[in-house]
Amino acid sequence: MGKSFLTYVIQRIAQCLLVVIIGITITFLIPRFSPTDPVEAVVNRAMMMGQFSHPDAVEMMKDALTKLYGLDGTLGQQYVRFWRGLLSGDLGPSLSSFPKPVMSLIRGSLPWTGALLLTTAIIAWVTGNMLGALAGYYADKRWSHVLSIIAMSLHPIPYYIMAFVLLVLLAYVIPVFPLGGAVAIGLKPGFNWIYISSILRHAFLPALSLVLVGIGGWFVGMRALVTNIVSEDYVTYAEYAGVPNRTIMYQYVMKNALLPQITGLAMQLGLIFNGALITEYVFNYPGLGYLAYSAIFAGDYSLIMGVAVFSIIGVSLAVLLVDLAYPLFDPRVKHQ
Amino acid sequence: MSRNQPLLDIHNITKLYSVGGWLSRNKIAAVADVSLSMLAEEPEILTLAGESGSGKTTLARMVLRLVEPTLGRILYKGRDITSIRTRKEQIEFMQDIQPIFQNPFEAFNPLKKLESYLFETAKNYDSRENGSIEDRIESALNLVGLSMREIRGRYPHELSGGQLQRVSVARALIASPSLLVADEPVSMIDASLRMSIVNLFKDLKDRHNVSIIYITHDLATAYYISDRIAIMQRGHIVEIGPVKKVLAEPFHPYTRLLRESILEPNSETAWDEEITLSTIETKEFARQGCKFANRCDSRLPICEETEPPLSFVDGREVKCWLYGVQGKHDTAS
């Protein structure tokens, strides 16, 4: 088994690398094959303002911008340079907030998004699955029906509508929570209660909106999985083996139903790098989603590419981790 | 338990299922007014046979308490099984009646080692014979021609269907039950392995005093191992009696049809019946009178209108107007 497991690990890592390389190559190619030329766009914008009317100055500016964007030289040269920059952690300067490097913008937003989405994803996953499993196992109980109705009405609500409703209700009508931002303005960062509580207060509403909708989704999926498994012969056999109900619920039903949910969680964790685009925008939360949103509006190619690259790496790593951990949960995977 | 008390006594049980949407709701009797009993002092193998949808599995699941009957009572060792409430009573009941299901590949949790089922069963049911948990598992496995050495540390996907089915029989035996309910236990197993399981059942009855309800549509194995056979059709038992009598000389036209379709697979009529089966299925459930009337080649005018009673003829019971007293419309007899 030792050897086959090692091959399994190596295969999965190779697969992951391949996906990352292909994904990043596509992100590299798309702007280069798109009909809009970013250099042209900036120059046109500048021209419209009536500055730099001298053709030589325009030419000089074009050259400088082309170099800055890494668009000089052949496609092959650009590609090599792009990878060299990426591997040394340099994604070039942002165009909209020039001359700040893309890397430092991402570094500034990542912790906010990471903390917010990681916590909400895990809270939603755990509660949604626990409740869903209980509701599926005790499907004919009254509370199970009530829970299902609540979850089914939460689940289809788009998360940004939920965000907006919560914002209006709990920040405007009953102003218990701040309207937006990540921390009170003017507070000095530091490891003290005032600063941390301010972060928590600001993160509460966006987190709640994501958790509520998330719980609904996981609940609905888990309940369906569990109701299917409960009627399986192996559960009846376990009952007839005198296994106590609690053990059947955890060991025979929930464990089996969780397998697809684990994959789902991994996919969601990977998407953290996309941020919760609109949630962050609604709450004015300085995360990756907000960054991506403003980059798209400003036509900031290098920033969009930076976020895309991080997203690709994030999703692939999450999938890789789940793939590697899967044999621990499912004995059937080892031998494939 | 007194000596004359039946092991299993089923009184007029009926299971109704609703079918169709909320515009055209229909009730279908999956099992209709079935009564039968099995004696405690002499273990027997009772076969339930009949086409798909005849209610054999529903009947078995009611005996196992997996499905609750709509009407009627099931007494097990003199006790109404719907009155079982506490965990202790439940455990006692389950130790005594053990199931074996059709599909061995669905019988075990794919995420658990096979032996866990054996250990759980042995741990939760105190043995009636002496011996350690390990010994009891080993002897149950030996009975089905396996040993712990072949099972230990293995997962269900690592064994063949035949092996798995034998493990599930072994699991049932660890509880040392008085009654096994085997729902088509050999239909998913290679024909060459079938006989070993069927012989095992016979052996269990003869040497270990285990009664068995054997559900099948394979009349050949039924003939070989069972003592009595009950032929079911559309929820009713249409003929019940000693297997040698019923299969050698079937009285009910449906039993005749069943037997012919097995003995003469080339017969044109047998195949015609098979093909039209599903289309007439719901019609048959809803029909008045004898459910088999429109497929029957010897039907009488009365068959269309009135359900025939079970009549005693030649050591068996037959639900057919050919043998019943015409004009006496009493189904309760």
For chain A, give the secondary structure using H, E and C: CHHHHHHHHHHHHHHHHHHHHHHHHHHHHHHHHCCCCHHHHHHHHHHHCCCCCCHHHHHHHHHHHHHHCCCCCCHHHHHHHHHHHHHCCCCCECCCCCCCEHHHHHHHHHHHHHHHHHHHHHHHHHHHHHHHHHHHHCCCCHHHHHHHHHHHHHCCCCHHHHHHHHHHHHHHHCCCCCCCCCCCCCCCCCCCHHHHHHHHHHHHHHHHHHHHHHHHHHHHHHHHHHHHHHCCHHHHHHHHCCCCHHHHHHHHHHHHHHHHHHHHHHHHHHHHHHCCHHHHHHCCCCCHHHHHHHHHHHCCHHHHHHHHHHHHHHHHHHHHHHHHHHHHHCCCCCCC
- Assigned fold of A104-298: MetI-like fold (1.10.3720)
pLDDT of residue B59: 93
CA distance A131 to chain B (A): 22
Say if the Cβ atoms of A240 and B125 lie within 8 Å.
no
Concatenated DSSP letters for B292-333?
TGGG-TT--HHHHHSPPPEEEETTEEEE-TTTS-TT---TT-
As a dihedral over the C-alpha atoms of residue B163, residue B169, residue B170, residue B171, rounded to 10 degrees, the angle is 110
- B293: amino acid identity, one letter: A
Q: What is the ipTM of this complex?
A: 0.78
CA-CA distance, A47 to B139, in Å (whole number)? 92
Say if the Cβ atoms of B120 and A256 lie within 8 Å.
no
Taking the Cβ of residue B136 and every Cβ of chain A, the question of whether any pair is shorter than 8 Å is answered with no
| Burial state string for B169-196 with b = 16 or more CB within 10 A and e = fewer than 16 | bbbbbbbbbbbbbbbbbbebbeeebbee
Say if the Cβ atoms of A242 and B101 lie within 8 Å.
no
Tens-digit pLDDT profile for chain B (333 aa)? Answer: 445 678 999 999 999 888 766 666 778 888 988 999 898 888 999 999 988 888 899 999 999 999 899 999 999 988 899 888 888 888 889 989 999 998 888 889 998 899 988 998 888 887 666 678 888 899 889 888 889 998 998 999 899 888 898 899 999 999 889 999 999 988 887 777 788 888 889 998 998 889 999 999 888 888 889 999 999 988 899 999 999 889 888 889 898 888 887 654 454 444 444 444 445 566 676 677 888 887 888 888 888 888 888 888 888 888 888 887 654 444 443
Residues 6+ positions from B123 with CB-CB distance below 8 Å: A242, B133
Q: Which of A4, A230, A234 to mutate to test the interface with B (most CBs of B within 10 A)?
A: A234
CA distance A319 to chain B (A): 21
Taking the Cβ of residue A250 and every Cβ of chain B, the question of whether any pair is shorter than 8 Å is answered with no
Taking the Cβ of residue B107 and every Cβ of chain A, the question of whether any pair is shorter than 8 Å is answered with yes
Say if the Cβ atoms of A238 and B117 lie within 8 Å.
yes
Say if the Cβ atoms of B112 and A252 lie within 8 Å.
yes
Residue in B98, B103, B111 closest to A240 by CB: B98
Say if the Cβ atoms of B108 and A234 lie within 8 Å.
yes
Q: Residue for token digits 């004015």?
A: A284
H/E stretch holding B274: helix B268-286
Q: Which of B91, B94, B111 to mutate to test the interface with A (most CBs of A within 10 A)?
A: B111
Q: Find, in chain A, the residue whose alpha carbon is nearest to that of B107.
A: A234
What's chain B's length in residues?
A: 333
The domain ranges of chain A are 104-298
- Is residue A153's pLDDT more than 60? yes
Q: Which CATH superfamily is domain B6-319 in?
A: P-loop containing nucleotide triphosphate hydrolases (3.40.50.300)
Residue in A233, A251, A329 closest to B107 by CB: A233
CA distance A157 to chain B (A): 28
pTM of the model: 0.77
Helix A301-329 × helix A102-137 angle, to 10°: 40
Candidate ranges A31-35, A36-40, A89-93, B71-75; pick with highest mean pLDDT: B71-75
pLDDT digits (tens, 9 = 90+) for A309-333: 888 888 888 888 888 888 888 887 7
Q: Which of A226, A229, A237 to mutate to test the interface with B (most CBs of B within 10 A)?
A: A237
